[in-house]
Amino acid sequence: MAHYLLIFLLGLFLAGLSATGHFAFGATGAHISVPANDYEYWVRFLGASVEHGKVYLVSLFVAHLSIRRLSASAEKLKLVDMPDNNRKVHTVAKPLVGGLGIVAGVLVSMVLFFPVAKYLGLIISILMILIMGVIDDRHDISFKIRLIVQVTATAITMNFFPGMHLVSFGNLFGLGEISSGMLVIPVTVFCALGVINAINMIDGLDGLAGTTSLIAFVSFAVLAWMNDMGSFMLLSLAFAGAIAAFLRFNWYPSRLFMGDAGSMTLGFVLAFFSVELSQKPGGIISPVAVLIVLAIPVTDTLTVMSKRIMSGKSPFSPDKTHFHHILRDMGFNHAGVVLIITGIATLFSLFAIVATVFNVPDYVLFGVFVSWFVFYFVSSTSRKGLFSAIGWMQKHHIISHEDVVMSAGE
C-alpha cells in the first residue's frame, strides 16, 4: 500500500511542478500567462495539473498492464533469466520483460500526448536499443554488436535533434569554456555509450537500476522545468511513471527483471536527456550538473572498467567488483545495499539541483565530481575510506533486513 501511495504522490508532485506557471508546458499547446493572484490562474493550474498528470498515469498503467501480460508469456517468448552457479545468484527463473513493459508505457503516452513526428528519431532509436536488448536477453550477443547498434541509435538521434550534440563541457577548470570542437560527434557518441553501459552495469540487484534511473528521471524533470524545457519534463514524467510501475514487480524480492532491453534503453534515454538539458543555448543547466546526477553509475563503471583493464582483462568482461558487490561482500543485506546506493544517488541529485539554483560555478561542480571519483576509486581498491564509513553503519545496525539476494544484471 505504501508503494502505491508513493507512486501517486510522485506523479502528483511532478504534474503540479510542470503545470506551475506554464499551463501548456510541454509537448503540445501554447504558453498562457496569467497573474498568480488571479482566480483564473488557479483554475487553469488545476486543469493543467490534471492534463500533465495523465502523461504519468497513462505511462504507469500501460506499463503495469504490459508487464503483467508479458510476464505470463515470458516462457513462450524465451525471455527468461535462468539461474546458474557462477555470477547469478537467484535460484528461480525470472521473466526478462520489464524493459518491454517500460517502453510500452512510455510509447503509448508519447503517441497520446506528444507530437510523434517531432520525436520520431528518438522513438526509432529507442526501438533499436530495445530490440537489440531483447535479442541480447535471448541469445547473449557479442558486446561488439551491442556497441554498433548503440552507436547507430545515437547517430540517428543526433540527426533528428540538433541539441543532441555535446558541444560544450562548461568551464571545468575556471580557465574558460571547454569545447569539443570538430570532435563533437565522436565525443557525443562516446559519452552516450558510457551512460548506456553504466546503467546496464549497475543492474545487479532487485530494484537498484530501476530506482537509480527513477531518481535520475525525476531530477532531470526538475532540471528541465528550471531550464524551461517543458516537453522534456513531460517525457521525464512518462518515464518516471513507467519505471514506478516496473518497480512494483522488481522491488525485492523481485518477480521479474528489466533485462538488458530495459537497462540499455533507460541508459540511452538518460544520455539523450543529459546532452539536451546541458546544451540548450542560453540554458542554465551545466554539463557537470547532469554528470553529478549520474555520478553513482558513471563512477562505478569507470572504476570497474579501469580495474579490468589494469588486470589485463576486457573492460566488458563480467565480474563481481561493482559497488553493490563490494557492499554484499561486506555482509550488507539486499535492502541495505540498495538503500545505501540510492541514498547516495539521491544526495548527488539534490546537490545538482541546489547547485543549479544557486548558480555554482562549473569548476566547483567538477571538483566535487573528481573528488568523489578519486575517493570512490581508492576506497573500492583498498576497501577503506568510503567503505570504512559504511562499515561503521553496518556495525551500528543502522540498516537491517532479510539477507537474501536476487540478481539479474552484471
SS3 of residue 168 by DSSP? strand
The CB density around residue 93, as the number of other CB atoms within 10 Å, is: 12
- Give the gyration radius of the chain's Cα atoms: 21
DSSP alpha helices (H): ranges in 161-202?
184-201
Residue 313: its pLDDT value, please? Answer: 84
Query: Residue ranges of the domains in the chain?
Result: 2-395
Closest C-alpha among 134, 407, 375, 109 to residue 234: 109
Q: How many residues does the chain have?
A: 410
Which of 271, 242, 273 has the alpha carbon at shortest distance from 258? 242
* pLDDT, position 393: 67
Q: What is the pLDDT of residue 174?
A: 92
How confident is the model at residue 302, as a pLDDT? Answer: 94
Give the pLDDT score at 330. 82
Residue type, 329: D
The C-alpha atoms of residue 118 and residue 123 are separated, in whole angstroms, by 10
Query: Which is nearest to 235 in space by CA: 109, 125, 150?
Result: 109
CB 123 within 8 A of CB 98: no
Contact 356, 222 (CB under 8 A): no
Phi-psi region of 257 (alpha: psi -120 to 50; beta: other; left: phi over 0): beta
Give pLDDT tens digits along the chain (410 positions): 455 566 667 766 776 766 664 533 333 343 444 455 566 666 666 666 777 788 999 999 999 999 999 999 999 988 998 766 555 555 578 999 999 999 999 999 999 999 999 999 999 999 999 999 999 999 889 889 999 999 999 999 999 998 899 999 999 999 999 999 999 999 999 999 999 999 999 998 889 999 999 999 999 999 998 898 888 988 998 999 999 999 999 988 889 999 999 999 999 999 999 999 999 999 999 999 999 999 999 999 999 999 888 888 888 777 788 998 888 888 788 888 898 999 999 999 999 999 999 999 999 999 999 999 999 999 988 878 888 887 776 676 665 544 433 333 44
